[in-house]
Amino acid sequence: MQPVAIIRKRKGKYHLISHKGKTLGVHSTREEALKQEQAIEISKRAKQLADGISKLLAEQDRDDHGRFSGPGGGGGHEDQMRAVHLQHAEKAAKSAAGKSRRAHKETIVTQGTSSGRYKSGDERIAEHKSAARSHQLAADHYKLAGEHAKSAEHQQKAQEHQQHIDSIKHSLGIKF
């Protein structure tokens, strides 16, 4: 699998750059940049898996009651797929919660000290983008599992993170 992004060192910082040339994140250490790249790869694979499962489900024949027909019948396969989507949704929701907490903190505490520094605009945008993607992934899986209320909740949270991104860009004078 081709790497999602390229890490470049500029002015003592490690920039994670997409193949389209967009800055995905700016980090103090190469390890932090690698962690973000791995998180992006995992998210990308999870989305591909979800899309593949959705495509398979859409192609399945269903009986008059909406259950899958064929070997096993009676909706057994559908129940298994629902359980898989719920498992992925819970994992994505847990990840999204942690990312949301980090995105809403305005400072980064320097390791080994009680002091910190304010996050740059790029760092804040990257964290909100990451949280929004995780919430969207959770929403997609909840929707596929038939949990529409939870799907709507995570969809709303993803939109709130996008609003934070727009607000940060506006405060920095970035056109969007």
What are the pLDDT digits (tens) for 1-22? 566 788 999 999 999 998 888 9
The mean predicted confidence, pLDDT, of the chain is 80
Helices (H), the chain: 30-59, 76-104, 121-144, 148-172
Q: What is the mean pLDDT of residues 33-41?
A: 87
Q: Which two tokens stand for residue 60?
A: 């399945």
Q: What is the mean pLDDT of residues 149-154?
A: 88
Q: Which two tokens stand for residue 109?
A: 């505490």
Categorise residue 112: left if φ over 0, alpha if ψ from -120 to 50, beta otherwise: left
- Confidence class for position 74, pLDDT limits 50, 70, 90: very low
87 vs 146: CA distance, rounded Å: 13
Q: Decide: pTM greater than 0.75.
A: no
139 vs 120: CA distance, rounded Å: 29
What CA dihedral angle connects 25, 29, 30 and 31, to 10 degrees?
-100
